Amino acid sequence: MHYRDLDIVEEELAAAAEGRFRIEPLMFHLAGIPSYLVLAELAVSRVLRGRLPTVRYPAALRERAPKIWWDNARLTFDYARVNHARHGRLAQCAGLVAQATSQTAHAVLAARGEWVTNDKTLLTRADLRQIDHFIADAHADPKAARRLVDVSEELCAAAVQAVLHPLP
């Protein structure tokens, strides 16, 4: 059961209607959580008492959020490539690839207008589960780490391309 400040929910409803949101760090969430998560909870909630408004995914949020998430993913892939892959630091590289893939999944689901309440099934819902195999096959040498970043970014770019035309 979640208790939410209704003033905050109303603020997030107004912000989402304008395509505005924040990404907030939260333990155990690789990409952080979007501030519109409270709206996702509202959209999928079961009311115990009283009534709640029906929340649809706002068009402005559907337009803007995917681009922001995808920009973050691309920057994360670039950072992994330049600062870790070229030195063969596989742990950091794989961690950043997982983070960028989670950011991409948020982009894909936002473009589809699908609410996200947590990241447990995020990659599966965005059809990005293949990333597990890429990470499992990686090795701690610069060439293999670079390949991990490159094939992962290609998979993610294709997923975003499928929902956004053209890619930002």
Residue of 66, 51, 73, 144 lying closest to 110 (CA atoms): 66
Asked whether residue 168 carries a pLDDT value surpassing 90, the answer given is no
With bands split at pLDDT 50, 70 and 90, how would you rate the model's confidence at 101? Answer: very high
Asked if 2 and 46 count as a contact pair (C-beta separation under 8 A), the reply is: no
Considering just the CA atoms, what is the radius of gyration of the chain in Å? 17
User: Where is 106: in which H helix or E strand?
Assistant: helix 90-112
User: Tokens 């936002």 — which residue?
Assistant: 110
Identify the band that residue 137 occupies on the pLDDT scale cut at 50, 70 and 90.
very high
Return the pLDDT at 5. Answer: 76
Q: Which of 50-54, 81-85, 107-111, 115-119 has the lowest mean pLDDT?
A: 50-54
Those residues with Cβ within 8 angstroms of residue 105's Cβ, 6 or more apart along the chain or in another chain:
31, 119, 122, 123, 125, 126, 128, 159
pLDDT in tens, 31-67: 999 999 989 988 877 766 777 778 899 999 999 999 9
Parse the chain into domains and list their residue ranges: 6-163
pLDDT beyond 70 at 83: yes
Strands 23-24 and 33-34: antiparallel
Q: What is the pLDDT of residue 9?
A: 85
How close are the terminal C-alpha atoms of the chain, in Å?
A: 38
pLDDT at 163: 95
